[in-house]
Structure 1
Amino acid sequence: MTINWADQRALIIAPHPDDEVIGCGGLISRISEAGGEVHVMYVTIGADVQQAAAGFSTEVENREEIEKVAAHLGITSWHVALPKAAQLTLDQVPRLELSRVIEDTTPISLTTLKPTLIAFPHPTSYNQDHQAVAEAAITALRPSDRRRRHHPPVVLAYEQAADQWRMTPTAPPNFYVTLEPRHVNAKITAMDLYASQRREYPHTRSDETLRGLATLRGMQCGAEAAEAYECMRLMA
Structure 2
Amino acid sequence: MRAGTLHATLLALPVVADDPLLHAGRALILAPHADDETLGCGGLIATLCRQRRPPYVLVVTDGTGSHPNSRAWPSARLRALREAEALAATAHLGLDAADLGFLRLRDTAAPRAGAAFAAVCTRIAAVAEEQGCDTLLAPWLLDPHGDHEAVQRMAQRVAASRGLRLLSYPVWGWLIAPDVELAPRLPIRGFRLDVSAHLQRKAEAIRLHASQYGDLITDDPDGFRLPASLLAVFEAPFETFLETNTP
Fold shared per TM-score above 0.5: yes
**Identity value in percent:** 22
| Shift in alpha-carbon separation, 1:178–1:95, aligned structure 2, 3 A | same
Q: Contact 1:173 / 1:228 at 8 angstroms: preserved in 2? A: no
* Matched letter for residue 135 of structure 1: R
Structure 2 residue ranges without an equivalent (≥5): 1-17, 214-224
* Matched letter for residue 63 of structure 1: E
Q: Contact 1:12 / 1:39 at 8 angstroms: preserved in 2? A: yes
Q: Per-residue deviation at 1:78?
A: 0.9
2:146 match: 128
Is residue 15 from structure 1 mapped to residue 32 from structure 2 by the alignment? yes
| Shift in alpha-carbon separation, 1:48–1:210, aligned structure 2, 3 A | closer
Q: Could you give the per-residue CA deviations for residues 143-184 of structure 1, whole angstroms, max 9, x where no partner exists?
A: 5xxxxxx433x3201111435637422247522243242322
Q: Contact 1:41 / 1:78 at 8 angstroms: preserved in 2? A: yes
Q: Contact 1:5 / 1:31 at 8 angstroms: preserved in 2? A: yes
Is residue 181 from structure 1 mapped to residue 196 from structure 2 by the alignment? yes
What's the TM-score once normalised by structure 1's chain length? 0.75
Q: Residues of 1 paired with 2:125 and 2:46: CA distance?
A: 25
Q: Contact 2:21 / 2:27 at 8 angstroms: preserved in 1? A: no
2:171 match: 160
1:138 match: 156
Q: Residues of 1 paired with 2:48 and 2:192: CA distance?
A: 11
Q: Per-residue deviation at 1:50?
A: 4.5
1:194 match: 209
Is residue 79 from structure 1 mapped to residue 79 from structure 2 by the alignment? no
* Matched letter for residue 227 of structure 1: E
SS of the equivalent of 2:87 reads helix
Q: Per-residue deviation at 1:130?
A: 0.8
Q: Residues of 1 paired with 2:111 and 2:181: CA distance?
A: 20
1:229 match: 241
Q: Per-residue deviation at 1:2?
A: 4.2
Q: Per-residue deviation at 1:228?
A: 1.3
Q: Per-residue deviation at 1:136?
A: 1.4
Structure 1 residue ranges without an equivalent (≥5): 144-149, 215-224
| Shift in alpha-carbon separation, 1:112–1:44, aligned structure 2, 3 A | same
Q: Residues of 2 paired with 1:200 and 1:137: CA distance?
A: 25
SS of the equivalent of 1:40 reads strand
* Matched letter for residue 207 of structure 2: D
Is residue 112 from structure 1 mapped to residue 126 from structure 2 by the alignment? no
2:12 match: none
* Matched letter for residue 117 of structure 1: T
Q: Per-residue deviation at 1:6?
A: 5.5
SS of the equivalent of 1:26 reads helix
2:84 match: 64
* Matched letter for residue 167 of structure 2: L
Q: Contact 1:49 / 1:86 at 8 angstroms: preserved in 2? A: no
Please tell me the root mean square deviation across aligned C-alpha atoms, in Å: 2.9
1:209 match: 233
Question: Greater relative contact order: 1 or 2 (C-alpha under 8 angstroms, separation 6 or more)?
Answer: 2
**What count of residue pairs does the alignment treat as equivalent?**
205
